[in-house]
Each structure stands twice: as C-alpha cells, then as structure tokens.
C-alpha cells in the first residue's frame, strides 16, 4: 500500500510543507532507466532521483518517492544533490554552496556509452561558485554509479573544506501503519571508515533486498552529517536525513570545533583548471547478514573484530581483515591506545591480528593498503568489565544516592537521576518522571543499581537498596495495599504549586509544560512500562535472598518472588492497554516464571503463564507485533521474541528477529556495532534534547537479549553472536571511568560525547545484567574464539578464562550447551574437543557465597553433541545442581555427555 499523502498533509507541519511552491520541476516529467539491478527514475528538470526500485521486489522503493510532491520545494534534499564549503587559498572564511537551496533546471550534457544521464549543475548553484560541477548517473561493471566532476574554473587555488553527498532514502514513517513501514520503509547505518566506508540501507522487515552505497575508487566516508536544514518535519516518525562527507575540515573548524571527530577532518586543494572526480556505487545486496560477503564480492575491505569494537583492557581481542591488497601500514590514534600484532593468514587469506586495549577511551586504527586505500576502525577501550560494573555500582550508591529530607515527595532513600555536567543530583525537572523515580527516565538509576547486584553483589550497596525497596519502591512508587495493590505510579514528583508551600519548586525551571504532571497524573497507574522495573527489583531481591547468605533475609525469598509475579499480574490487570505491547525489560516476567516453576510455586506460575500466553496469542495474530506508545519503536521486540520463543510461536519469533537485525547493524565501529536504533529519547530521558541517532541507548542491550537467545539455538550463525555481543558490550561502553552512566552518547559530529544526565540508562543495564555471558565457538575460518573470555588451546583441550563481570554463564557452541549459575562464579572453563568433557573451575567461597547452583540446558540440537549431565556429585535442587564451595581452593565440576 502506498503512503497516504492525504494523511501526511492533514498533519501539521506537513500541511505547511505541502503549501510551499514546488521548484523541483515535477511538471516537466521524469526519465526512466534500466540501471542493472534497479529501475532508476530521475526528475527531468533536476536529474535527482524520483525512484530507485529494485527489480527483485514489486511496489518497493529505496527513496521516498511517495512524498516527492510534498518535498519538492527549495531547501529539500534528494538523492543526487551535493553540498560544498569552499574558499580561495589564503582566505579564512568558508562559503557554502548547495544544489538544493534554490532550484533551477539543470543543463543536460551529452552522455557516453556508460552514462545514463548527465548534467552541468551551474543553474542550480550560486553564480559565484568557483567550481564547475557536473553530475552523471552511469553504469560501471553492472552497478549504478553517481559521479560528480569538480573543476576549478578560476585562476586561484580553491580549497574544498566540505563535500557532502546527501543520502536520501525512505526512512519517513509518518502516516504509515506498522505493516506499511515494515513493507515499504528503510533504515540506514553508516560505516564511517574512510575509503572502506559504506552505507547500509536495510528494509524494516529485515528481508532482502538491502542496498549498499560504497565508494567507487577514492571517495572516502570521512564523516556523517545530519541534514538539519532539510525542512522535512523531524520527530518520532522521522529521524532526519544525513550526508556522506568526503571532506569535513570546514565543519571541524567551526560547527564541530568542540568535538573530537571519528576521523581526522581533511580538505583538498584544486589548482586552476584542475579536475577531480568523486563517485559512489549502489550495490544491491540480500539481508543485513549478506553485507560482508557482498562487499568482498565487490573487492571492498571487510573487517571483523572479536569480541567486537568495545574492548575491555583485560581481553585479548582478534581482528580479521579481508582485502586483496597487502597492508602497507597500521597506525593507532592516540598513540599506544591499542596494541596490535600480526598473527598470520587464515586458510582463505584473511589477515589476522591480535589486538589489546591499553588506554581507556576512544581509539582509532588507520590501515593503509598498498594501493593507497585507507581504512579506519573506531574502537572504545574500557576497563575490565568487572571494574566497569564495580564503578557503576559505587557511583549509583554514593554520588547518586539521595538521602536528604523529602517530606513532600517521599523519594528518600533512593538512587536518583544525576547530572554529570553539573556534578549534582536532579531533584527537580519539568519532566516529572526524571525526578520522580518512575518511567524509564526516573527509574533508570535505581533499576541499574539493583540490577548491578545480580551481576556483582556488594553488601553495603545491597543494604542501601534494601532500604529503598522496603520504604520507597514498595509502598510509594508501587502500592502496597488496597484494591489496586501492586499498581505502579508514573511519578513521585509532581507539580502542584497551588497546594504546596511557596518555594517548593525551583524558580529557574519552566514548569508550564505538559510533562510537569499534576499529582493526579503522577499517581496514574495505567502506564504498563513502569511495571517491569519494579518487578525486576523484587526478582533481584528474591535472587539475593535465595542464593546468598547474609545479603537479604533468607526467609524472605518466597515473598520477594511472589511480589515479582504479582507485579506482572497487576500490569495486565491495572494497565491493560499498553500491556498489550511488548515491554522493555519484559524478559523479567519470563525469568520470574522460570523461578516460580523451579521453586514449585505451581499455582502462581500457572496464573502468570496464562496471562503471558494471552499477550503472546495477541501478538501472534498481528503481522508485525511491535507497537508501543510510539508510532514505531525498537523496545517491544525483546519481550515479543522471548514469549513467542517460549510458547513455540517460531514464525513470530523469526519475524521479530528479522526486524531487530534490520535496525541493529554489525559494523566495524564501536558506536554503531550492535546499536539498536533509537532517535527520540533524548527528548524524554536526556539533557541535550533533540531528535538524533542515539549511540547505545538502552535498546542496544535489551535487543541483545533475543539476538543472543537465538544464537544459542543456532550456534552456526556467527552474525547473530556478533550483533548480540555488540549490543551487550555497547550497553556498558558509555559508562565513565568514575562510574557515571548516561542515557546515551550523542552521534552528531558537533557533539560526539555522552549526554549529561543518567536518564533511562538502567533499562539497558537490565539487558546487560540478565544476558552477560561467555561464548566459546569454533569458527570455520577463524578457528577457536571466545567472546567474554581469553582462550588458549592445549592439544585437544580449549581453555577459557572468563572476563565478564558476573562470570556466571557460559555457552559452548559445539555442544549447544548453556551453563548458568544462580550463585557462585566460574573462573575458567575447559572443553575437550575429542570426548566433549567440560570442566568448570568455580571461585572459592566467601562470606556470602557458600554454595554454587549450576543449571544446564541445550537450546541447540548439534549433531553428535549428545545430552550433557553433571558428573560431579551435587545436590539436585530447584532444577539445578548445588555444590558446596571450598574456602581454600577452586571447586571443579565435570560435565559430560
């Protein structure tokens, strides 16, 4: 179904845009071309793209052709436009030129055999431009190519300080249903990797075909610039457009001067009469999983890093490069931030390296090949996962610990939102939830603090959080009694100046906004998304009471677990509307259900399971069951997948996973690798408020849950492991050395830094906490690998020392075996490749951990793997095996088939 333009135009500000005079020249008609894998349609007057349709699929267009008429006025970008910033040598000021600013019909020029269409763009550029700009659409080796020829027509040297090629594809979701968006829209993600860079354009359904935009020759992808001067209305249903920046020095000197860029900003000089050509090729590909093989087929460089591009300091990483030319040099910026060493070639000629992080922070590899091509790979080096998580927990329970008198709002004690730029707690905000300890943006801090105890429990932190749960969360945020017991409020903070003492509210904050809720709205129990946060807290308290000695009163475990389950029941009964959708952190209800079953609480388990099945049955009836409060979202997929998988609705689980992989790319750049798309939550959970692609917002780690769960069912799918682990470590990549965790990192090249407040970060940390694990596999090309551990091979035995913070879960791919501990930690695991025997070395006992509870499951059916059981003598308990831990030495557990 086509985009309903009437629907769009009926929505302001689309009305205003549609009334602007059309200057693109649509009335003069279109030209159509057979462009290899595509049908290309150009506007005759502008020779910009009106249609780019893959021949493989009917009624699908990569560009926003349905909104072409609405978007046909001056200042709106189309594929085929160019932006330049120029100056004469010796001058300081840059002057901007754009083919989109003021449209005039371009002049056709004769075409050769390979060219489909060509034009001199002088008529649609300012008269004083010192360059002649020609553009051609041509075919090269069967691929569609967009080429710009720039010639200095003056007698002076001209410096090109910015050259941007707008990438205009159909990510406008406005006016479309979820079914329509998944059928007709695309998202696109950049690999900002200089000459090796590319843009990956993926359909929302995740289905083939996808599109790769790559350099032809040397047209480097130096920076990725948002086209905020394009007047297409940006918002929740439209992220905005971007341009491929070949040069960016002019921006770096001005608009971006306060930010360290992904690549060194450059410019180039054109001498009088000199010509320069820049070209991009459009390559039709399959799904996102096919990107790398398609790049290799087209002789483009491909990089694969293990465990990814977020590199803990204690991890021995690996890097594999595929490109026909030899490597001339590798440079590291900052110097010595990374240590890299060659380790030979794989059987099919991939160049292999070991890589280790030395210095915390961003680091860049610059690889120069013999043919002059330059590739950059951006890494983020972090402290060991254990140290990162320890710092995070400490920060939350000290700097963010709110324990001052609060007689009106009753928020003390709690971990409250924090402004890291001001180095102070956010006690008031005109978004009530931010200071109100609920919603994702307000619950984020205490949720993160509690989930940290699942990973790495610490007595003094647990003591503080127990106070919060008993006195603030259960009883104030969540009702503890009455007919709506277990209902969860939207906020403890509210705006009621008429009924509260003068001076209650900060005079410097504008509270005359919709988000400054009155008490009635703050007390509303109808937002289902608030319930998983509370359920997770009850569940962690159950785990601490049940599996440890002396952290939480041991006899209270049952009540904590029942409270967790009842919170799930309350969600569907008290907040039924939004609970029809998948919830962020909805995985917690699956975890609660498993524990109810393990504890023999059959009645409670049956009730909860029945309610969850009703929701799953509803999702099963929908083509794309990913609704939410927003027109499109990337948060419901997590829970939809988990329950679809649990109830055996494999068709719906597959639809969900495909959709996730469409917006969660695998790219050689720490910021984009595994980064589930999110672009509006800086408005609701951030400090710097704008529509912007967010770097590792909570969606990264939450969406990693289904991706890694599916990998455990399909251990041959290496792509799933890379995508999921990218999201998992991406989820902790923005935590500062001191332990502050921001809502997300800002992608705009003018900023490129953490957001100022903690906001809704805790939802993502939930994803990390319940999903952190070590993965061991044998890759057909790269050999034995470990994600979340350091591996060495000794004869037939693979030994892996765990490097995760929790050290509580291991997946051994050749056995399809998932090993998880409710209590205790694994220091090392070994796998015998001949007889399949597995040995776990468990850490020594401590004051709080006297026993380990080991669980086994085999989600994958691997040929010849057999069924594993525990050989060592342990007490069968709660569906697992309990072992007493030694106080003096590691405890070894043997698993065999």
| Residue partners of 170: CB distance under 8 A and separation at least 6 | 61, 62, 63, 64, 65, 66, 184, 185, 186
Instruction: List, run by run, the mean pLDDT of 10-residue segments along the chain (897 residues).
Output: 42 88 97 98 98 96 97 98 97 97 97 95 98 98 97 98 98 93 96 98 97 96 98 94 98 98 98 98 98 98 98 98 98 98 97 98 98 98 98 98 97 98 98 97 98 98 98 98 98 97 96 98 98 98 97 96 98 96 97 98 98 98 87 92 98 97 98 96 96 97 98 98 98 98 98 98 98 98 98 97 98 98 96 97 95 96 90 91 93 95
pLDDT at 864: 84
Closest CA relative to residue 394, chosen from 464, 340, 301: 464
pLDDT at 110: 94
Ordered DSSP codes for 605-661: HHHHHHHHHHHHHHHHTSSS----SSSS-SSTHHHHHHHHHHTT-HHHHHHHHHHHH
Cβ proximity of 206 and 187 under 8 Å = no
Alpha carbon separation from 497 to 238, 434, 492, 502, 503 (Å, rounded): 36, 18, 15, 7, 9
- As a 3-state breakdown, the chain gives helix, strand, coil percent values, each rounded to 5, of 25, 30, 45
Count the alpha carbons within 13 Å of 613 in the hemisphere toward its beta carbon.
9
- DSSP reduced 3-state for 401: strand
Closest CA relative to residue 50, chosen from 20, 95, 80: 80
The pair of three-digit structure tokens given for residue 564, joined into one six-digit string: 């967790």
Q: Across the strands, what pairs with 809?
A: 820
What is the pTM (predicted TM-score) of this model?
0.97
d(CA 743, CA 113): 53
Cβ proximity of 261 and 249 under 8 Å = no
pLDDT at 11: 64
- DSSP reduced 3-state for 682: helix
């Amino acid at each position: 179904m086509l985009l309903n333009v009437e629907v769009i135009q009926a929505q302001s500000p689309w009305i205003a845009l549609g009334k602007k005079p059309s200057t693109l020249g649509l009335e003069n008609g279109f030209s159509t071309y057979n462009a290899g894998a595509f049908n290309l349609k150009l506007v005759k007057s502008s020779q910009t793209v009106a249609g780019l349709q893959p021949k493989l699929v009917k009624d699908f267009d990569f560009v926003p052709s349905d909104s072409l008429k609405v978007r046909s006025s001056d200042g709106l970008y189309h594929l085929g436009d160019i932006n330049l910033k120029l100056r004469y040598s010796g001058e300081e000021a840059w002057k901007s030129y754009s083919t989109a600013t003021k449209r005039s019909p371009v002049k056709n020029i004769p075409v050769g055999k390979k060219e489909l269409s060509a034009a001199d763009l002088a008529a649609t550029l300012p008269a004083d431009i010192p360059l002649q700009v020609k553009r051609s659409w041509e075919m090269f080796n069967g691929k569609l190519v967009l080429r710009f020829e720039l010639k200095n027509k003056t007698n002076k040297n001209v410096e090109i300080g910015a050259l941007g090629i707008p990438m205009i594809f159909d990510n406008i979701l406005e006016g479309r249903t979820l079914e329509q968006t998944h059928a007709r829209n695309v998202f696109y993600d950049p690999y900002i990797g200089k000459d090796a860079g590319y843009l990956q354009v993926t359909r929302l359904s995740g289905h083939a075909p996808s599109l790769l935009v790559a350099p032809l020759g040397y047209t480097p992808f130096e920076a990725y610039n948002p086209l905020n001067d394009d007047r297409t209305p940006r918002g929740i249903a439209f992220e905005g457009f971007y341009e491929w920046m070949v040069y960016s020095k002019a921006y770096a000197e001005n608009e971006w001067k306060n930010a360290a860029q992904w690549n060194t900003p450059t410019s180039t000089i054109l001498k009088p009469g000199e010509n320069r050509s820049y070209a991009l090729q459009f390559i039709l590909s399959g799904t996102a999983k096919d990107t790398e093989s398609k790049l290799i087929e087209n002789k483009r460089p491909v990089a694969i890093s293990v465990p990814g591009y977020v590199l803990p300091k204690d991890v021995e990483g690996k890097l594999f490069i595929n490109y026909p030319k030899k490597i001339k040099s590798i440079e590291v910026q900052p110097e010595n931030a990374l240590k890299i060493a060659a380790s030979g070639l794989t059987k099919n000629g991939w160049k292999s390296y070991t890589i280790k992080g030395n210095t915390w922070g961003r680091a860049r590899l610059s690889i120069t090949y013999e043919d002059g091509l330059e590739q950059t790979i951006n890494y983020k080096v972090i402290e060991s996962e254990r140290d990162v998580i320890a710092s995070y927990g400490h920060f939350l329970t000290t700097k963010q610990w709110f324990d001052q008198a609060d007689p009106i709002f009753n928020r003390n004690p709690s971990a409250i939102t924090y402004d890291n730029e001001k180095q102070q707690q956010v006690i008031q905000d005109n978004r009530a939830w931010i200071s109100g300890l609920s919603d994702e943006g307000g619950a984020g801090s205490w949720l993160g603090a509690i989930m940290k105890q699942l990973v790495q429990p610490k007595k003094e932190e647990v003591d503080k959080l127990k106070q919060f749960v008993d006195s603030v969360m259960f009883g104030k945020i969540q009702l503890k009694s009455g007919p709506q017991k277990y209902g969860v409020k939207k906020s403890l903070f509210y705006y009621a100046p008429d009924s509260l003492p003068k001076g209650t509210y900060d005079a410097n904050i504008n509270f005359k906004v919709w988000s400054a809720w009155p008490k009635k709205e703050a007390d509303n129990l109808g937002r289902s998304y608030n319930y998983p946060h509370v359920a997770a807290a009850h569940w962690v308290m159950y785990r601490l009471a049940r599996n440890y000695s002396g952290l939480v009163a041991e006899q209270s475990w049952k009540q904590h677990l029942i409270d967790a389950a009842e919170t799930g029941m309350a969600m569907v009964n008290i907040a039924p509307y939004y609970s029809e959708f998948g919830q962020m952190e909805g995985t917690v209800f699956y975890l609660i259900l498993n524990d109810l079953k393990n504890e023999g609480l059959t009645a409670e388990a049956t009730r909860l399971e029945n309610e969850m099945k009703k929701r799953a049955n509803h999702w099963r009836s929908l083509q794309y069951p990913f609704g939410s409060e927003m027109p499109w979202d990337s948060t419901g997929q997590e829970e939809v997948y988990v329950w679809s998988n649990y109830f055996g609705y494999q068709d719906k689980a597959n639809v969900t996973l495909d959709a996730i992989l469409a917006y969660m790319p695998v790219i050689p750049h720490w910021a984009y690798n595994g980064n589930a798309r999110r672009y509006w939550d800086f408005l609701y959970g951030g400090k710097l408020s704008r529509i912007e692609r967010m770097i590792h917002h909570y969606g990264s780690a939450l969406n990693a849950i289904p991706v890694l769960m599916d990998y455990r069912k399909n251990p041959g799918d290496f792509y799933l492991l890379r995508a999921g682990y990218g999201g998992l470590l991406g989820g902790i990549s923005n935590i500062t050395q001191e332990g502050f965790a921001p809502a997300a990192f800002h992608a705009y090249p003018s900023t490129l830094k953490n957001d100022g407040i903690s906001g809704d970060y805790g939802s993502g940390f939930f994803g990390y906490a319940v999903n952190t694990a070590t993965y061991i596999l044998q890759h057909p090309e790269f050999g034995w690998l470990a994600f979340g551990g350091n591996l060495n091979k000794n004869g037939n035995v693979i030994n892996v020392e765990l490097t995760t913070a929790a050290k509580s879960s291991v997946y051994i791919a050749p056995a399809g075996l998932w090993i998880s501990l409710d209590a205790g930690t694994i220091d090392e695991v070994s796998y015998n490749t001949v007889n399949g025997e597995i040995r776990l070395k468990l850490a020594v006992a401590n004051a709080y951990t006297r026993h380990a509870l080991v669980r086994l499951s085999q989600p994958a059916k691997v040929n010849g793997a057999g069924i594993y059981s525990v050989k060592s003598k342990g007490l069968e308990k709660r569906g697992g095996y309990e072992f007493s831990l030694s106080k003096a030495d590691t405890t070894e557990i043997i698993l065999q088939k």
